[in-house]
Structure 1
Amino acid sequence: MKRFLKHCVSAFALAAATLAVPAAASADWLAEAAKPLKGTEISGIFLDRPGYRAIIKLLPEFEKRTGIKVNYEIVPYENTREKEVLNFTSRGDLTMALVDLVWIGEFAENGWLVPVSELAKDKATTDPNLNLDGFFPLLLNAFGTWGGTVYGLPFDNYSGLLFYNACKLKEAGFDKPPATWEEFATAYAPKLTDASKNQYAYALQSLRGETQSADSFMRFLWPFGGSLLNKDFKSNLMSEGSQTGLKFRQDMLKYMPPGVVSFDHAEAVNALAQGQVAMITEWSAFYNTLVDPATSKLGDCLAVAPEPAGPAGRLPALGGFSLAVASQASPEQQKATWLFIQWATSEEIAKAYVEAGGVSGRMAVYKDPDIKAKYKFVEPMVASWEKGVPEYRPRFPAWPAISEVVAEWGSKIELGQVSPEVGSKEIGTRMEAILQKEGYYDGKKKLLQ
C-alpha cells in the first residue's frame, strides 16, 4: 500500500503540472465565467454532516454571483453509493458525483466522471487560481485521483482523531489522554467505566455497513501491524497483527455502551456530547458538533488528540470525499458543475467554510493564526495528513462487494458471536472469491492502480 501511495504522489505532480492556468484574472472570475450559464441548474447528493451543512450555509453567495441553481438531496451515507450508481447507470439527473475514497476506482473505471484535465481545457470556466498544489497531496491522491488521473477535488475531508472529555479523565486521575491502545485498555478504560451508572470509557461507531467495515473493523488492523490484504491482494487477516487488533477490539466491548454495534457516527458523537462516554475516535469533521452548545454538553471539557498508537505505531484512520463532474451531465451542466466544485473547494472560501463547520482540504487555511487558535482539531489533523497514513481501505472497484462481507462478519466478531480467527477465515475466503471473479488474480486487472 505504501508503494501505491508513492505512485500516486508522482502521478499527481505530473497531473498538476499539466493543469497550470494563467495567473491574470478579472475582479470576479467566477461571475464572469458564469454569465453564459445563468439559469443553469445542477444537482448532487449531500450528507447530513457538518461539512455539507457548512457549504449549504455559503451556497447563497455562489448562486447570487453566478445565477446557477444548485439542487441537492440530503441522503444517509449508507444509501449514497447505491443511489448514485443507480442514477449513473440509468443516465439520471445528477450532474455532480460525491465520491468516497473507496468509490473512486468504481466510478472512474465505469466512465461516470469527467477528468479535471478535460474540464481545465476550457480556460473560461477554470479558476486562474485553481492551484491543485494547494491541496494536501495525501487528500488529492486518495479522494480524487485514480490511475494517475485527477477526477475530483477534495471536499469533505477527515482524519481520525481522539475526542475526549478532559473533565471525566481528570476526575478519574488522568491529566492527559492515553497515548497507546494498551494504555487505554489497562489503565483508562476500567476507571472510566461504570455500567451501573450508564458510564463508559469509549464508543466505537460500528453500524453494519460501511461504518462497520471502515470505521470500526479496519481501524484496528493497521495500528496493530495488520491489514486487510497483503501485497498480492490475498487476505492478510490471519496474520498476527490483524488477529491481535481484532481480538483487542472484541475485548473492548465491555467498556462500551450496550448496543454500540448499532451506533452510526451520530450516535457515537452524541454519546460523548451528552456525557455517556469519555472518549471516541471519530472524524475531524464532527468537531463543530461537539463544540456546539445546542448539541453538546461538553463545553470547555472537550479536548482533542491524535488517535492512540498501537504496536505498529500511530496510524490514524483516513476518510473523505471528492466532488467530481458527472459525465452524464449536458455540456452546460458540466461547466456549471465545474464552477461550483472549484468554488466549494477553493482557497478563496476555505476560511469561511471552516468557520461554518467544514474541514477544508487546502493547506493554506490551517496556517491562518485565527484558525489555528480557534479550532483544537487542526494541529493533530494536519500532522496526520502531512505525515501520511496507510490506505487502510482498498480503493479498487471491488471494495463495495468486499465491504458487505467485512460488515457482516466484522459485526459478528465484534459481538463475540464468532472468534476473530473464524470470522477472518470467512472474510478471507469470500473476499478472495470476489477478487478472483473480478480478475485480480489472472492478470485482467492490475493489483495496484
Structure 2
Amino acid sequence: MRLLRHAAGAVALALATAALGPAPAKAEAWDIAKAAAPYKGTELHVIFLDRPGYRAIIKLLPEFEKQTGIKVSYEIVPYENTREKEVLNFNGQGDLSIALVDLVWIGEFAENGWIQPVSKFSGDASITDPNLNLKGFFPLLLDAFGTWGGTTYGLPFDNYSGLLFYNKCMLKSAGFDKPPATWDEVMTTYAPKLTDPAKKQYGYALQSLRGETQSADSFMRMLWPFGGSLLDKTFHSNLMSKESQAGLDFRQKLMKYMPPGIVSWDHAESVNALAQGQVAMITEWSAFYPTLTDPKTSKLGDCLGVAPEPAGPAGRLPALGGFSLAVASQAPEKVQKAAWIFIQWATSDAIAKPYVEAGGVSGRTAVYDDPAIRAHYSFVEPMVASWQKGVPEFRPRFPSWPAISEIVAEFGSKIMLGEVSVEQGSKEIGTRMEAVLQKDGYYDGKKKLLQ
C-alpha cells in the first residue's frame, strides 16, 4: 500500500503551515546575534552521522558559534545505532537538546512526546527568523520528514532521493552510451556485460547490511517499482501479492551480478566499490555525491554518471530518505530556545548554498534554482525532479516501524543468504509484522491507519 503520497501529505502540510501563519512577503534580515544574545554560552548536544551532509554542517559551525555564542557539541554515530542511542537518551532524560529524526522515526518521536512542535517557538519573534518561510522547503520533504498528524515538529535536514550512480567509462567499454532506464535493462542487458568475477568486477551493488539498510535500502527498494508494498490498505501484509513477490524474486536473481558478501555491505562499502571501479552501478542516496566526486575518496573523476533510479513495471519510484532536526522536549527551556535558533540557521535559505557547496543536500527549493548549482552538481536535476513529482513513502512512518524493521531486516537477510525462500521469508515477515500491529492496536480502531 502506498501509505503516503505527496498529494495526500500536502493536506496535512497545508494545515501545519496555516497554523504557523503566512510567510512574510518580504522580511527584514535576521539579526541572529541579537536573537541569540540571551542564550550566549549555552551548549547544545546533537547526534550527527558520518555522512557528507553532517561533515558539511560541521564545516559551517564555527561561523554559527561566532555569531551566536552558542556551542554545538556533536557526537558522530553510525546510522544503525542512532535511533537506539536517541531513544535511550530520551527515556533516561539525557543531554540531547536536538533530535535527529529519520522520516520513519517521526511518528514514534512525536507520539512519545520526545520532540516539540515548531509552533511552540515560531510565534516568538525574539527567537524566530523573519525569513523562516516553511513554504520555502520542498513540500514533500517538510511533510515526510518534519510533520506528523498535521503538526510540524522538525525542519528538513540532510534529505535525499535515491539515484543511479554509475561508471560511464565502464559502461562505454561494455558498449553502452547511456545508463539503463529500467530494472529489466539492468538485469537482462547491462549487469551481465558488466560482470566479470575473474576480474572481481560486478555490474551492480545493493547495500544490504542487516538493519535499516537491509529493511529500507534493499528490501523495500525492490517492492515499489514492481507494484508491490509492505502493507495493504487494511494494514495487513501485502508481501504475498504477485507484485511484491516479483520485486523480491528480482532482487534475488540480480544477486548473481553483485559482489560476494553483499548482504554485509552498508552504504560505505557500496559507495567505495563504485568509487574504486569494482562495481559499475549502485542505487544510492544523493547525499553520497560528494564522496564520489572527491579525488581523495574516489577514482572516478569524469567517469562518474548520475541518473534517476531505474523504472520498474509500476514506473519510476525512487527511494526517499533523509532527516529533520527537532527540539528535544527533555531539554531545559533556555536550551530549547537556543536549539530552535540553531535548527533555523542549519536549514535556512541563507546558508543553503554554502551548505551544498560544502557537501550537504539542502531541503530548500531556491538553492536549486541557482544556475551555478545546477551546472556544477549533476545530482541536482534528477533529485529535484523526484522531489517535485512526489514519490510514495516506501517505508511506513508509524511508531511501529522500528519493530517491523527488525523483522524485515532479519528475514530479508535470510532470503538473500538463501536460508529461506522468498515465499517463506515473506510469509514469516507477514505473520510477525501483523502480530506487532495487532498488539499496537491497528486492527481494533485504537490507532489510525494513515497519518
Give the AA of the match of 1:19. L
Alpha-carbon shift at residue 288 of structure 1 (Å)? 0.4
Moved more, 78-87 or 8-17: 8-17
Counterpart CA distance in 1 for 2:415 and 2:289 is: 30
Unmatched 5+ stretches in structure 2: none
Alpha-carbon shift at residue 212 of structure 1 (Å)? 0.1
- 8 Å CA contact retained: 2:166, 2:282: yes
Instruction: Indicate the residue corresponding to 1:202 in structure 2.
Output: 204
Give the AA of the match of 1:10. V
Aligned length: 449
Instruction: Give the TM-score of the pair, scaled to structure 1.
Output: 0.98
Alpha-carbon shift at residue 437 of structure 1 (Å)? 0.4
Instruction: Indicate the residue corresponding to 1:56 in structure 2.
Output: 58
Deviations 1:123-145 (A, max 9, x none): 11010000000000000110000
Deviations 1:302-349 (A, max 9, x none): 010000000000000000000000001111100100000000000000
Give the AA of the match of 1:333. V
Q: Are residues 1:212 and 2:204 paired?
A: no
Q: How does 1:167-316 map to 2 (within 5 A)?
A: 167-316=169-318
Q: How does 1:14-53 map to 2 (within 5 A)?
A: 14-20=15-21, 27-53=29-55
Counterpart CA distance in 2 for 1:184 and 1:26 is: 51
Instruction: Indicate the residue corresponding to 1:319 in structure 2.
Output: 321
Deviations 1:412-433 (A, max 9, x none): 1122222111100000000000
Alpha-carbon shift at residue 87 of structure 1 (Å)? 0.4
Alpha-carbon shift at residue 18 of structure 1 (Å)? 2.7
Instruction: Give the TM-score of the pair, scaled to structure 2.
Output: 0.98
Instruction: Indicate the residue corresponding to 1:80 in structure 2.
Output: 82
Structure 1 residues 51 and 348, CA gap change in structure 2 (3 angstroms)? same
- 8 Å CA contact retained: 2:3, 2:396: no
Q: Are residues 1:9 and 2:10 paired?
A: yes
Alpha-carbon shift at residue 22 of structure 1 (Å)? 5.5
Classify the secondary structure of the residue corresponding to 2:232: coil
Structure 1 residues 22 and 205, CA gap change in structure 2 (3 angstroms)? same
Q: How does 1:352-363 map to 2 (within 5 A)?
A: 352-363=354-365
- 8 Å CA contact retained: 1:8, 1:145: no
Counterpart CA distance in 2 for 1:363 and 1:100 is: 20
Classify the secondary structure of the residue corresponding to 1:430: helix
Alpha-carbon shift at residue 7 of structure 1 (Å)? 3.7
Counterpart CA distance in 1 for 2:295 and 2:3 is: 44
Alpha-carbon shift at residue 15 of structure 1 (Å)? 1.7
Counterpart CA distance in 1 for 2:361 and 2:173 is: 32
Instruction: Indicate the residue corresponding to 1:410 in structure 2.
Output: 412
Unmatched 5+ stretches in structure 1: none
Classify the secondary structure of the residue corresponding to 1:304: strand
- 8 Å CA contact retained: 2:215, 2:409: yes
Classify the secondary structure of the residue corresponding to 1:125: coil
Counterpart CA distance in 2 for 1:372 and 1:38 is: 38
Instruction: Indicate the residue corresponding to 1:331 in structure 2.
Output: 333
Give the AA of the match of 2:319. A
Counterpart CA distance in 1 for 2:279 and 2:3 is: 38
Classify the secondary structure of the residue corresponding to 1:124: coil
| Identical aligned residues as a percent | 78
- 8 Å CA contact retained: 2:159, 2:321: yes
- 8 Å CA contact retained: 1:23, 1:128: no
Classify the secondary structure of the residue corresponding to 2:126: helix
Alpha-carbon shift at residue 14 of structure 1 (Å)? 2.2
Counterpart CA distance in 2 for 1:218 and 1:331 is: 40
Moved more, 16-25 or 121-130: 16-25
- 8 Å CA contact retained: 2:159, 2:322: yes
The Cα RMSD (Å) is 1.1
Structure 1 residues 3 and 77, CA gap change in structure 2 (3 angstroms)? closer
